[in-house]
Amino acid sequence: MNAPHGFHTSAVPAALRDELVAAGLDYDELVDHALRALQEDLPDGGLDATSVATIGADARAEGVFAARDAGVVAGLGIAALVFHLVLGDDVELSERVPDGTTVAPGDVVLRVAGPTRGLLTAERTALNFASHLSGIATATSHWVAALEGTRAKVLDTRKTLPGFRTLQKYAVRCGGGVNHRLTLSDLAMVKDNHVVAAGGVVPAFEAVRAAYPDLPVEVEVTDLDQLRALLAAGCTQILLDNMSNEMMAEAVEITRSGATGASLEASGGLTLERAREVALTGVDFISVGALTHSVVVFDLGFDFLED
């Protein structure tokens, strides 16, 4: 989108742009996203009425973003982008900790200084991005800790907020998790409805292989007979849906004993309390939709420093 009047897309430092791109984010898409968020507060022609009424045009201030809980931060580079879009070059950012950093209550994660009105205008949008993404990174880190010492890795899903998928999956990476497919074109994932429509797990798998021979394909199974049939057909990515721990352990034994090299993913209503016992069955991945669809925001606060 074109930059709305009053925002400073050309003033974003090249180093910040390069950092965001290196993190796997589409810079132009990110700027559009941030501008849309800012326009929710400031539609064309709008203004921050409270700040204009209470704060002099020449007033300047300094403030800090600080953690109010323990966790892992993400999205601070995006918060920095928001401040530059609002204030251009007339903002100083310092003490920003890298995304993926583990923090404790009271830790300063970003310091900002500039025109007081502009800081307050940008504050909420910056916090919305950083608090939401830090919540995802923190939740993911808890799963990573629960799986430590096992072969299992935690995966995200496509259960993301519309328009936020790229950012939410970035936050999962910040927390130590692994991204599953980003789009429907990255990997063919045969679920129960595909199986019904195709007439079985093997016909569904073979139909995908015939249509897209170079595309990775994963197939969902609900019992061990389906697993055996898929292994015999050459499927190398299999999702174990809503299985008991005992059944998953048997699925792992069947797969390993056949020396197929297939990977197994556990899915279906898994909880953090159950994470480690599922991982100890020997599965390779545990997919968790709650990382993104049910995240609790991380408590970040922004406060001005008093002289």
Active-site hit among 111, 158, 159, 209: 159
For residue 269, the 8-state DSSP code is S
Distance from C-alpha of 202 to C-alpha of 196, rounded to nearest angstrom? 11
Burial of 2 (0-12, 13-18, 19+ CB in 10 A): exposed
Query: Which residues touch 160 (CB under 8 Å, ≥6 apart)?
Result: 168, 169, 292, 293
Q: Is 273 among the residues known to form the active site? A: no
Q: Is 209 among the residues known to form the active site? A: no
DSSP string, 165-210: HHHHHHHHHHTT-B---SSTTT-EEE-HHHHHHHTSHHHHHHHHHH
Question: Which token pair is 169?
Answer: 């999956």
Active-site hit among 48, 241, 265, 284: 241
Q: Is 169 among the residues known to form the active site? A: no
- From the list 203, 205, 243, the residue with the least C-alpha distance to 223 is 243
Question: Which token pair is 258?
Answer: 């056949």
Active-site hit among 36, 191, 223, 256: 191
What SS3 state is found at 97?
coil
Distance from C-alpha of 105 to C-alpha of 79, rounded to nearest angstrom? 19
Query: Which residues touch 226 (CB under 8 Å, ≥6 apart)?
Result: 201
- From the list 76, 36, 42, the residue with the least C-alpha distance to 298 is 76
Q: Is 220 among the residues known to form the active site? A: yes
Distance from C-alpha of 266 to C-alpha of 62, rounded to nearest angstrom? 48
Active-site hit among 17, 68, 124, 276: 124
Active-site hit among 123, 156, 220, 284: 220
Q: Is 159 among the residues known to form the active site? A: yes
Residues that are catalytic: 124, 159, 191, 220, 241
